[in-house]
């Protein structure tokens, strides 16, 4: 009989419920408890999932020493400022962690989280779920079997459909009213997909802006990103992202195209369709019949537990903290490029896969803290 890992979820917003539901339905995991600083959220989730509620991560871990995995699904500014403290507390208590993306909106915190997990010899995964889909798995096989050949170019287009007359109301939330909130919260996904298929990025050049409607309403968010990049393998890439400022055309809200000397494939709408072109042949089209992006969550979460069951080496963990850190290094390189007029920037080097010297913990991130800010420790 395969081992069943006992798990808990901290942060019971919408994404926390998604994780809890995936755990409840995963044959390799058992949901033991839920936690949120807001009692009403913790209590509602506890009633829904039939487990105890806690309002302190520390108290939950003391009450349930059998917990082996903590899912960190807290939110925060730029969708990541409340990930650091619960992740470090769980790792410090000897638990494996699966954290939501972005791993953190603070690059020093992200680097420290990866270092600390390695020092502790624990698994730190991140919910980089966009390449856990049937089209992505088929694309993996195409690459593995030589169907693409030498990679020539990669293009990603991703974001939200909309128009400048219908700016997303959530953008008015104070957590989003920062220049790089869309870049930090969202570009993790396209960068993770491009790196998954093409490898490490060595050079980045970025331009960012926002349309007139956002300027007129004094919206601080830079909602449009145009990023050029070069990969270590020589492939060149382009990423376009926008947050509901225009309607997308071909490929829908999410498309990734990779072209090589033997063939080209394009994934549309993340989970929906893959088309493969090979010289002199009719295109091969795979329609999955799936339109719900939510289908990626149980697949990605199950993969995390599979890796734990199989005791894979830390450096072989799929969608690892190190992989998530890579995406943040690229995002911060893109910000650096934009702030310097489109200058070409080389991203910060990633840590070696093996355990390295221990980094000094960053100072507490205190930007915009208010009365609803977390105090996990």
* Number of domain units in the chain: 2
Q: What is the pLDDT of residue 169?
A: 52
In a domain, 288, yes or no: yes
For the stretch 278-315, pLDDT in tens is 988 999 999 999 999 899 999 999 999 999 999 999 99
287 in the same domain as 309: no
261 in the same domain as 148: yes
173 in the same domain as 123: no
Range of the domain at 121: 5-130+296-319
- Residue 135 contacts residue 290 (beta carbons within 8 Å): no
Q: What is the pLDDT of residue 359?
A: 41
Q: What is the pLDDT of residue 112?
A: 98
Q: What is the pLDDT of residue 166?
A: 59
Q: What is the pLDDT of residue 187?
A: 96
282 in the same domain as 248: yes
Bond from prior residue into 72 cis (ω within 30 degrees of 0):
no
- Residue 111 contacts residue 325 (beta carbons within 8 Å): yes
Q: What is the pLDDT of residue 226?
A: 98
In a domain, 239, yes or no: yes
For the stretch 141-183, pLDDT in tens is 999 999 999 999 999 999 887 776 555 554 566 677 889 999 9
Give strand ranges (E) for the chain: 5-10, 29-35, 53-54, 69-72, 96-99, 124-126, 151-161, 201-209, 224-231, 236-246, 254-260, 263-268, 273-278, 284-287
Q: What is the CATH number of the domain that holds 217?
A: 3.30.360.10
Integer-rounded Cα radius of gyration of the chain = 20
174 in the same domain as 240: yes
In a domain, 11, yes or no: yes
- Residue 70 contacts residue 96 (beta carbons within 8 Å): yes
Torsion of CA 133, 154, 330, 216, to 10 degrees: -90
Q: What is the pLDDT of residue 35?
A: 98
Q: What is the pLDDT of residue 307?
A: 98
Residues 6+ apart with CB under 8 A from 108: 362
Q: What is the CATH number of the domain that holds 75?
A: 3.40.50.720
* Residue-level pLDDT, tens digit, the chain, 377 residues: 578 999 999 999 999 999 999 999 999 999 999 999 999 999 999 999 999 999 999 999 999 999 999 999 998 888 889 999 999 999 999 999 999 999 999 999 999 999 999 999 999 999 999 999 999 999 999 999 999 999 999 999 998 877 765 555 545 666 778 899 999 999 999 999 999 999 999 999 999 999 888 888 888 999 999 999 999 999 999 999 998 888 888 777 899 999 999 999 999 999 999 999 998 899 999 999 999 989 999 999 999 999 999 999 999 999 999 999 999 999 999 999 999 999 999 999 999 874 433 344 454 332 222 333 333 32
308 in the same domain as 287: no
145 in the same domain as 97: no
């Amino acid at each position: 009989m395969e081992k069943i890992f006992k798990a808990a979820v901290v942060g019971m917003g919408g994404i926390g419920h998604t994780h809890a539901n995936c755990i409840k339905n995963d044959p390799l995991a058992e949901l033991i408890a839920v936690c949120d600083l807001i009692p009403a959220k913790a209590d509602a989730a506890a009633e829904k999932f039939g487990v105890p509620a806690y309002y302190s991560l520390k108290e939950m871990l003391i009450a349930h020493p059998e917990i082996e995995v903590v899912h960190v699904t807290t939110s925060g500014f730029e969708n990541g400022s409340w990930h650091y403290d619960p992740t470090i507390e769980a790792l410090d208590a000897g638990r494996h962690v699966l954290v939501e993306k972005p791993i953190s909106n603070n690059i020093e915190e992200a680097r420290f989280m990866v270092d600390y997990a390695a020092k502790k010899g624990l698994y730190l995964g991140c919910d980089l779920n966009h390449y856990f889909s049937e089209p992505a798995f088929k694309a993996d096989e195409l690459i593995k079997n030589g169907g693409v050949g030498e990679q020539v170019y990669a293009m990603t287009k991703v974001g939200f459909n909309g128009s400048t007359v219908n700016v997303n109301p959530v953008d008015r939330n104070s957590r989003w009213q920062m220049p790089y909130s869309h870049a930090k919260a969202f570009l993790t996904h396209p960068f993770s997909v491009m790196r998954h298929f093409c490898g490490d990025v060595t050079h980045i050049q970025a331009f960012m802006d926002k349309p007139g409607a956002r300027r007129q309403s004094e919206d601080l968010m830079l909602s449009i990103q145009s990023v050029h990049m070069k990969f270590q393998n020589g492939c060149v890439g382009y990423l376009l992202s926008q947050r509901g400022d225009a309607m997308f055309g071909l490929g829908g809200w999410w498309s990734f195209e990779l072209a090589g000397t033997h063939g080209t494939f394009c994934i549309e709408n993340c989970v929906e369709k893959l088309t493969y072109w090979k010289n002199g042949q009719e295109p091969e089209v795979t329609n999955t019949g799936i339109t719900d992006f939510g289908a990626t969550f149980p697949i990605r979460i199950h993969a995390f537990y599979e890796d734990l069951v199989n005791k894979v080496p830390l450096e072989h963990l799929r969608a690892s903290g190190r992989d998530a850190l890579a995406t943040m290094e690229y995002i911060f390189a893109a910000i650096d490029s934009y702030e310097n007029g489109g200058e070409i920037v080389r991203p910060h080097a990633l840590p070696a896969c093996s355990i390295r010297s221990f980094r000094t913990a960053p100072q507490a991130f205190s930007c915009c803290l208010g009365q609803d800010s977390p105090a996990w420790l």
